[in-house]
Amino acid sequence: MSEEKIPVYKQQNPSTIQQMFGNYYLEYASYVILERAVPHIVDGLKPVQRRILHSMDSMDDGRFNKVANVVGDTMKYHPHGDASIGSALVTLGQKGYLIDTQGNWGNILTGDSAAAPRYIEARLSKFAKEVVYSPKVTEWKLSYDGRNKEPVALPVKFPLLLAQGALGIAVGMNCLILPHNFNELIDAAIHYLRKEDFELYPDFPTGGLLDVSGYNDGTGNSRLRCRARLDTSTKKLIRITEIPYGTTTESIIQSIENAMEKGKLKVAKIEDNTAATADILIHLPAGQDVEKTCNALYAFTECQVSISPKAVVIVDRKPVFMGVSEILKHNVDHTKETLRRELEVQLAELQESWMQVSLEKIFIENRIYKELEKSESWEQSLAMIDKKLQPFVKDFIRPVTQDDIVRLTEIKIKKIAKYEIHEAEKRIVALEKDIAQCRKNLDQLTRYTIRWFEGLRKKYGEQWPRKTELCEFESVTRAEASVENETLYIDEDGFAGYGVRKGEPVEKCSKMSDILTIDNQGVLMVRRVQEKFYVGKKLLDIRVLRPGEDWVFNMIYRDGKEGVTYAKRFHIGGFTRDKEYDLTQGTKGSRVFFFSVHKTEEDSAGIAVNVYLKNQFKRLRKPVTFDFAELRVKGRAVMGNIVTKNPVERIARIMPTAATAAETPEGDAAEAPAPAAADTPQAPPAPQETPQPQPEDDTPVPPMEDTQGTFNFDN
């Protein structure tokens, strides 16, 4: 009887399977990080970009090549499809540093894609040929199939990574390095070589305004705000001439239309005339304020975006998080080292050329070639030539080898016949000067590197001026930018909102406004306005709470049913939406006797009231006057000052007389709306009676005591 075969996956130990998949995941994650998504610190390129540039160098003859041909040739080195190569090539071409383009390569402003690879052409730029390639100092490796050689990293002699920027999404990490200005990178490199301090800030090809106050050297906790440039010189028209990084004119127009649909923005018409430069025309309706519309564009559309860069690079086959200053220092150090290696190669070549020219001059000038006629064998000829050269060996920079002698015997008779000694001496002198200069450059390598960067700036600096303006601007909150095109209503059933059409209008609001309500129990609440929401039938105050407004409230309340009566002046302070705040001490049975609202502290200080006590004979009744000017403005959680410990019947405000009415601040008009008047009964003025002594059983009104309250600010 044959045994049943058990599948391989059932034979495995579960822990072994888990470990196997863990290893597979780590291998995949490492591959994506190292070979696809994250740039290398040395040349600032991802593998596909490096292979494209290597392929273009091998194909370069000074003329344009079809992008389709470049893609096909790159596939010898890149083990992926042609689509990834083509898109990477287009991205390199749009950045404008390394590739000269011809044809329709798309538009970074509008977001239009490039034409098909068979219709567009490319070649290496002069800048790329000068900065990127140096085959004699390049480290090579075999391609994925072992048939070709490709560079491990190109010997780039410039901070290319910071100039172009990089974006990549790997497994478990992402990379966003913003582009920087060409000339500012060179200035920073020179400052670093001179051991001076430097600062680097991004510069975007799309222009715009940039607030770099939170840049933090481009590390993971950096945060930038980028704005479009708005031209408001024409009435009823806003022109967008530059757009933020990472946006397109199409995405900006779409965000404006979305804001219009949600009622956050009023625009009559939008036109897009973008070509080589951004040009979006926003026509405003009649009566629309330009400044408010600009604020709304910043708050609700892509006219302002936040960017959080995070620099991740490959160093020694590992991903490393760095700041842009550290990346620049690493690139400058690599440039200096590459220049040193190039100088050493150049010096060796110059010395070898001097050696060959000198041997040739001695060989011909001293007629050593005649020994070839006297010798009976080849070996004897080589020995005789070597013997004749020995008197001159002390002047050579290295020993004479047999290969040198063989090379001398291969000189043609025609060259010997026409040989000019003076020309040879001139060439030797020129080579000696070059050797001396090369040695001087090696001895003064830092100065030589500085001259290298200065030469780059002189050649190419005018091509890349700064496009993004650095400035600081205040953030525009959505509440500040909201257009108040709605009206807040309140009805008899205790419902409020901009959709309660049968109620009484309170004031204008937007769909982003905060609504403040205070009920007759002294409970304050701030909530976002809605089409319809319940606020209660008995309100002391309801109003729209706008940014920048700091209302002052006057209030007299009783603590509990038979407690002490307090008075206080307070600001709202910080708050959390939809949270109840007790303006009293929260004791059951508390009652608010008086309540008023004012725009400024001066307005609130001009309020005085008469306090009528209970248990007094009518004919002897005399109110106690209380002036709010005696109180300081504190936080809403303060307990307040004691007005009286006796039971209070009612409180009436003392109205200004005709003589003083002209001096009354207009801020009193901002007191609590109609609902508050119903809950705060106003008593007629006290009768003018002759003061009489109080009965013995009446308790005198004690003087006011200052009870310190505590502040409570919520986030």
Active site residue ranges: 119
Residue 248: C-alpha distances to residues 226, 230, 276, 605 (Å): 13, 15, 13, 54
SS (H, E, C) 422-467: HHHHHHHHHHHHHHHHHHHHHHCHHHHHHHHHHHHHHHHHHHCCCC
Asked if 642 and 707 touch (Cβ cutoff 8 Å), the reply is yes
The neighbouring-strand residues paired with 473 are: none
CA-closest candidate to residue 35, choices 79, 76, 82 = 79
The residue written with tokens 């127009």 in the block is 253
Token pair of 533, please?
């929401």
Asked if 487 and 541 touch (Cβ cutoff 8 Å), the reply is no
In 228-322, at which residue ranges do the beta strands (DSSP E only) sit?
A: 229-231, 237-242, 269-272, 280-283, 304-307, 312-315, 318-321
Cβ neighbours of 682 (radius 10 Å)? 12
CA-closest candidate to residue 143, choices 47, 57, 232, 77 = 77
The backbone region for 555, taken as left when phi is positive above 0, alpha when psi lies in -120 to 50, beta otherwise, is beta
Could you give the CA distance from residue 211 to residue 470 in angstroms, rounded to a whole number?
6
Asked if 427 and 102 touch (Cβ cutoff 8 Å), the reply is no
Q: What are phi and psi of 445, to 5 degrees?
A: -65, -35
Residue 34: C-alpha distances to residues 41, 42, 260, 696 (Å): 12, 13, 45, 96
Asked if 540 and 680 touch (Cβ cutoff 8 Å), the reply is yes
Token pair of 710, please?
């505590």
- Mapped onto helix, strand or coil, the DSSP state of residue 633 is strand
Handedness of CA 350, 356, 361, 362 (dihedral sign): positive
Asked if 205 and 464 touch (Cβ cutoff 8 Å), the reply is no
Could you give the CA distance from residue 186 to residue 18 in angstroms, rounded to a whole number?
51
Cβ neighbours of 285 (radius 10 Å)? 11
Asked if 230 and 476 touch (Cβ cutoff 8 Å), the reply is no
